[in-house]
Amino acid sequence: MKTIILYYSNHHGNTKKLVDAIAAADPENVELLDVTKAGPRNLSEYDRIGVASGIYAGSFGKPMLNYMKDNLPPGKNVFILYSSAMNMDNQSSSARKAIEEKNCWVIGQYHCPGYNTFGPFKIVGGTAKGHPTQKDLDEAVKFYKSL
């Protein structure tokens, strides 16, 4: 299936590692698009769309949410990927809302820990050190292949 994964990975590249692993596992069908470097894009030609972001203050990054608002075509199958210092399912609610507003369907979600040195966590050397691990990356690929 022709797939594009939109991503926003700002601090340590945690989310970029996830999408790179998926693209490497299916290079003929997966295209990656950094939303900070992309202009408007017609995404209707893709069979499914992935949205991937780190979590910033409990939400997907604003550049990702804005890109989804402006470019996500209606009626598409969309999957969610994210990395976060905290392992909480509800951190994708901002992305889910943007997907639902476009009358798209969430077909799956994967998240894993991501190394975090934001704010006070920098003082203690960060949280979720070493993540995403190879196991996290392998699980992301397994999730993608299960879609």
CATH number at residue 31: 3.40.50.360
Confidence (pLDDT) at 21: 98
- Whole-model pTM: value is 0.87
DSSP label of 85: S
Look at residue 30 and tell me whether its pLDDT is greater than 50. Answer: yes
Alpha-carbon distance of 107 to 102, in angstroms, equals: 14
Highest mean pLDDT among 6-10, 51-55, 81-85, 142-146: 142-146
For 101-110, the pLDDT digits (tens) are 999 999 999 9
What is the rounded average pLDDT of the residues 25-49? 96
Range of the domain at 12: 3-146
Both tokens of 18, joined, read 């996830």
- The size of the chain, in residues, is 147
Measuring CA to CA, how many Å separate 29 from each of 11, 24, 46, 131?
A: 27, 10, 10, 26
Look at residue 126 and tell me whether its pLDDT is greater than 50. Answer: no
H or E segment at 16? helix 14-25
Question: Per the structure, how many domains does the chain have?
Answer: 1
